[in-house]
Structure 1
Amino acid sequence: MVREKLMAGHVVRRLRRRLALSQAAMAEMLGISPSYLNLVERNQRPLSATLLVRLAETFDLDPRALSAAEPGGGAAAMRRRLADPLFADLEIDRAELEEWLAAAPSGAEAFARAYDRGGSGGAAPADDDPVAAVRREIERWRNHFADLDAAAEALADELRLGAGDLYGAIAERLRTRHQLAIRVLPAEVMPDALRRLDLHARQLQLSELLDPASRTFAAAFQLAQIEAREEVEALARGAGFADRTAERLYRRHLCGYFAAAVMMPYARFLRACETTGYDIELLQRRFGAGFEQVAHRLTTLSRVGARGLPFFMVRVDRAGVASKRYAGASGAALVEADARCPLWRLHHAFDRPGTLAVQLVELEDNARFLTMARTVSPQGRRYGLVAAEFAVGLGVEAGLAGPLAAARGLDLAGLATPIGLGCRRCLRPACPQRAAPPAGRAWVVNERERGVSAIAFAGD
Structure 2
Amino acid sequence: MAERKLLAGHAVRRVRRQAGLTQAAMAELLGISPSYLNLVERNQRPLSAALLVRLAERFDFDPRTLTSGEPAGGVDALRRRLADPMFADLEIDRHEVAEWLASAPGGAEAFARVFDRLGGAGDAAGAAPAADDPQVLVRREVERWRNHFAELDELAEGVADELRQSAADLGAALAERLRVRHQLSVRVLPAEVLPDRLFRLDLHARQLQLSELLGPAQRLQLLARQIGQSEARVPVEALVRGAGFSDRAAERLYRRHLLGYFAAAVTMPYARFLRACEATGYDVPLLARRFGTSFEQVAHRLTTLGRVGARGLAFCLLRIDRAGQVSKRFAGMSGSPVADAAGLCPLWSAFEAFARTDTAVTQLVELEDGSRWFSWAHVVHPAVGAVAGVRARYGIALLLGADQARGWAAARGTELGGEAVGIGLGCRACTRRDCGQRSAPPAGHALLVHEREGGVTPFAFAGD
Give the alignment's TM-score, normalised by structure 2: 0.91
Shift of 1:347: 1.1
Shift of 1:52: 2.0
Q: Deviations over 1:240-271 (max 9, x none)?
A: 22222221111111111111111011111122
Shift of 1:354: 3.4
**Aligned residue in 2 for 1:303:** 307
Which residue identity is paired with 1:145? F
Distance 2:63 2:303 in 1: 21
Distance 1:247 1:262 in 2: 23
Shift of 1:125: 4.0
Question: Does the C-alpha gap of structure 1 residues 156 and 306 become closer, same or farther in structure 2, counting only changes over 3 Å?
Answer: same
**Aligned residue in 1 for 2:94:** 94
Which residue identity is paired with 1:293? Q
Shift of 1:86: 2.2
Distance 1:9 1:384 in 2: 54
Which residue identity is paired with 1:244? R
Shift of 1:20: 4.8
**Aligned residue in 2 for 1:35:** 35
Distance 2:297 2:37 in 1: 43
Question: What secondary structure is seen at the aligned counterpart in 2 of 1:325?
Answer: strand
**Aligned residue in 2 for 1:84:** 84
Question: What secondary structure is seen at the aligned counterpart in 2 of 1:399?
Answer: coil
Question: What secondary structure is seen at the aligned counterpart in 1 of 2:117?
Answer: helix
State which drifts further: 444-453 or 14-23: 14-23
1:334-349 to 2 correspondences below 5 Å: 334-349=338-353
Distance 1:130 1:249 in 2: 8
Shift of 1:101: 2.1
**Aligned residue in 1 for 2:454:** 450
RMSD (Å) for aligned C-alpha atoms: 2.5
Which residue identity is paired with 2:49? V
Equivalent of residue 206 in structure 1, options 195, 206, 210: 210
Report if aligned partners of 1:359, 1:370 keep a CA contact under 8 Å in 2.
yes
Distance 1:204 1:5 in 2: 41
Which residue identity is paired with 2:106? S
Question: Does the C-alpha gap of structure 1 residues 302 and 92 become closer, same or farther in structure 2, counting only changes over 3 Å?
Answer: same
Gaps of 5+ in 1: none
Mapped pair 1:395 → 2:399: yes
Which residue identity is paired with 1:76? D
Q: Deviations over 1:99-143 (max 9, x none)?
A: 222222222122112212222499974355221121112112211
1:50-449 to 2 correspondences below 5 Å: 52-60=48-56, 66=66, 68-120=68-120, 125-382=129-386, 385-449=389-453
Distance 2:65 2:278 in 1: 28
State which drifts further: 85-94 or 298-307: 85-94
Question: What secondary structure is seen at the aligned counterpart in 2 of 1:173?
Answer: helix
Gaps of 5+ in 2: none
| Count of residue pairs brought into register by the alignment | 454
Report if aligned partners of 2:353, 2:377 keep a CA contact under 8 Å in 1.
yes
Report if aligned partners of 2:128, 2:342 keep a CA contact under 8 Å in 1.
no
Taking only the aligned residue pairs, the percentage that are identical comes to 64
Question: What secondary structure is seen at the aligned counterpart in 1 of 2:48?
Answer: helix
